[in-house]
Amino acid sequence: MQYFNLHTHVYTHQEDILELVNQYPQEFEADLPQYSIGIHPLFIDENRLESDFEIIRQKISLPECLAIGECGLDKRSETPFEIQLEVLERQFVLAEKHQKAIVIHCVHAFQELVELKKKLKLTVPVVIHGFSKKEQLAKQLLDNGFYLSFGKNLLQNPELESVFILTPDSRFFLETDMIEEGIQEIYALAAKYKKITVAELQQIISNNFDAVFTNKQITK
């Protein structure tokens, strides 16, 4: 059975790994077998915004495009927050129109993210990538229909173990993002935390992949 890497910036060409490679519109690589594409809140360029959206519109309907993202909100960004919200809302509307999942980058703006999801009444799955926060926020996001993806912080922060254990099996993914460690290492630790085998974990995430990226119904 394959490993699934929810979010990476590097395609590793390994046959036993299904990788959702992050793409930015102006740096698009056409030869990737699966990708997400979106406008990151740290890299919003108002001078080329319409060009970026045109590229997303061209790519989103292709079968290789599994999701919009990473997109989101980041209060460290130099881009005014209101513009970030507008850009994210436009991407949410595109994802809903094309029934694509959404991969989210969020820093210090989770409440606004939840409110926007509610405002638009999104029906497509929304995944918070690189989740590293405490149980209270995890519960709030899960209660509002989000999925959580765990990566480097699961390896680096032992306190995240309890958050991961409490996350329902039907609502999480694993990822490498930009770290050097392979997805196999993250799966091994995650399986240890869940007290299951890696093969069982692969099956759980395979089920989640089907639910989120092939529009199959999932039991919450």
Count CB neighbours of 9 within 10 A.
Answer: 13
Give the C-alpha separation, 85 to 91, whole Å: 10
CB 130 within 8 Å of CB 177: yes
What is the Cα 90 distance to its own chain's centre?
17
Q: What does the pLDDT read at residue 64? A: 96
Q: What does the pLDDT read at residue 216? A: 43
Topology of the domain comprising 3-213? TIM Barrel (3.20.20)
Give the C-alpha separation, 88 to 94, whole Å: 10
What values do phi and psi take at 60, rounded to 5? -65, -30
Give the C-alpha separation, 32 to 78, whole Å: 31
Helix or strand (DSSP H, E) at 28: none
CB 205 within 8 Å of CB 180: no
Q: What does the pLDDT read at residue 215? A: 60
Identify the segments of the chain with pLDDT beneath 70. Answer: 215-220
CB 190 within 8 Å of CB 164: yes
Size (the chain), residues: 220
Compute CA distances 96 → 89, 102, 124, 127, whole Å.
10, 9, 6, 14
